[in-house]
Amino acid sequence: MRGKKPYLAVVLIQLIYAGYFLLTKLALDVGMNTCVFVFYRQAAATLFLVPITIILERKSAPPLSFSLTIKIFLLSLIGITMSLNIVGVALKYTSASLGAATSNTLPIITFFLAVLLRMESVKLRSGPGIMKLGGVILCIAGVATIAFFKGPLLKLLVHHHLISSRIGEMQQEQAPAADSWIKGVFLMMLSNVTWALWLLLQGRLLKECPSKLLLTTLQCLLSTIQSFLVALVFARDLTQWKLGFDVQLLSIFYCGVVVTGVTFYLQAWVIEKKGPIFLVMTTPLIMIFTVTISAFVCGEIISLGSVLGGILLVGGLYCVLWGKMKEEEIAKGECNPKVVDEKASCLV
């Protein structure tokens, strides 16, 4: 059973992220302002993390210099405040299923940015390098397919949904036009770019602030302040700030506490046990879970273009990951590219 725990953990992580896309989309569909939602979400995460951080890090927390605080502030602005606000607007234009599908581009965008920043290299004359390049091309093809080709609509033969009536009617009324859909796709990609940049820069910042919990809490706190200022500018009507005991409050609690709190611990644990590649390879589960729950619970209609684009994105993801793993094996001396057996397999 112990050996199965990492597999159960990654399934739970991807289920949590699927719930994030679904609940965020539902909260926005019932009229919640995107900027206000991001502020409340980050405020909930901060209130959840601050007491835990004080208890666990009050004696071992590293000192924070002014320059380090500025770096954390800018990192929060790019990777959290900007990213979450952009993805919120993108979800208004598109769907939860699309948001989950485009999440498969995150590892590829991260790799591409790492190449631009000279943190990664691509050897086009090697097999792994060609696979990486092919994965990037498949990713671009998948995004283009989702954005510009809808095709026939695929509606499952399920007539009774757990979430129907009011929300279902609103989703039908708010079906995005072609230009809005394309805009939403590229906004989602822009959000992934800011998120990927956040991942890369956070790796460098952890060398100055090795406490993951303290760094996460500070980013949540600073992004709460930033999100509040953004919301003041774009949501001046006080009625947009009111909350009731409905899907909006549920979404805020879920995204702030469960997504930020639970997945933070689970992801760190999985990476420690099985490594980051193992975690990233399970990313397509988000799309599978989101599409399934959206269809059966919310009655969401999915287009053929989204399905085909999602398949291309998953294919691109695995091509890049395969190339990355093979390069790591070669670098460690586990795989000798000059020694190939009759089955063309790697000799260990």
CA 257 to each of CA 26, 49, 76, 167, 333: distance values in angstroms, whole numbers, following the listed order: 18, 8, 18, 24, 43
Q: What is the pLDDT of residue 125?
A: 75
- For residue 254, is pLDDT > 60? yes
* Overall average pLDDT of the 195-223 stretch: 85
Q: What is the pLDDT of residue 167?
A: 47
Mean pLDDT of the chain: 80
Name the β-bridge partners of 302. 154
Q: pLDDT over 70 for what percent of the chain?
A: 86
* Overall average pLDDT of the 221-229 stretch: 95
Indicate the length of the chain as a whole number.
348
Q: What is the pLDDT of residue 156?
A: 57
* Overall average pLDDT of the 200-211 stretch: 81
CB of 86 closer than 8 Å to CB of 191: yes
- What are the φ and ψ backbone dihedral angles of 158, each rounded to 5 degrees? -125, 115
- The DSSP line for 5-38 is HHHHHHHHHHHHHHHHHHHHHHHHHTT--HHHHH
Q: H/E element holding 278?
A: helix 276-280
* Overall average pLDDT of the 317-321 stretch: 83
Q: Is the whole model's pTM more than 0.85, yes or no?
A: no
**Residue with the larger pLDDT of the pair 51 and 150:** 51
**Residue with the larger pLDDT of the pair 80 and 146:** 80
- For residue 216, is pLDDT > 70? yes
CB of 101 closer than 8 Å to CB of 313: yes
Angstrom distance (rounded) from CA 160 to CA 295: 11
SS3 340: strand
Residues 6+ apart with CB under 8 A from 267: 13, 279
Angstrom distance (rounded) from CA 52 to CA 55: 5
Q: What is the pLDDT of residues 146-186, one digit of tens each?
A: 877 777 776 654 444 445 444 444 444 445 567 788 888 89
* Overall average pLDDT of the 107-122 stretch: 78
**Residue with the larger pLDDT of the pair 177 and 72:** 72
Q: What is the pLDDT of residue 155?
A: 63
Q: Tell me how many degrees the CA angle 193-14-157 measures, rounded to the nearest 5.
A: 105
Range with the poorest average pLDDT among 108-112, 312-316, 336-340: 336-340
pLDDT band at 228 (very low <50, low <70, confident <90, very high): very high
CA 111 to each of CA 39, 147, 186, 282, 318: distance values in angstroms, whole numbers, following the listed order: 30, 22, 19, 17, 13
- The DSSP line for 161-193 is -SS-HHHHHHHHHTPPPHHHHHHHHHHHHHHHH
Most confident region among 50-54, 159-163, 209-213, 236-240 by mean pLDDT: 50-54
Reference 77, options 224, 233, 235, 261; nearest CA is 224
SS3 62: coil
- For residue 274, is pLDDT > 80? no
Most confident region among 85-89, 172-176, 270-274, 297-301 by mean pLDDT: 85-89
Q: Where are the beta strands (DSSP E) in the chain?
A: 153-154, 302-303
**Residue with the larger pLDDT of the pair 15 and 280:** 15
Most confident region among 39-53, 127-141, 329-343 by mean pLDDT: 39-53
CB of 32 closer than 8 Å to CB of 235: no
SS3 149: coil
Q: What is the pLDDT of residue 27?
A: 87
Reference 216, options 161, 280, 264, 268; nearest CA is 264
CB of 9 closer than 8 Å to CB of 266: yes
pLDDT band at 334 (very low <50, low <70, confident <90, very high): low
- For residue 277, is pLDDT > 80? no
**Residue with the larger pLDDT of the pair 230 and 285:** 230
* Overall average pLDDT of the 80-106 stretch: 86
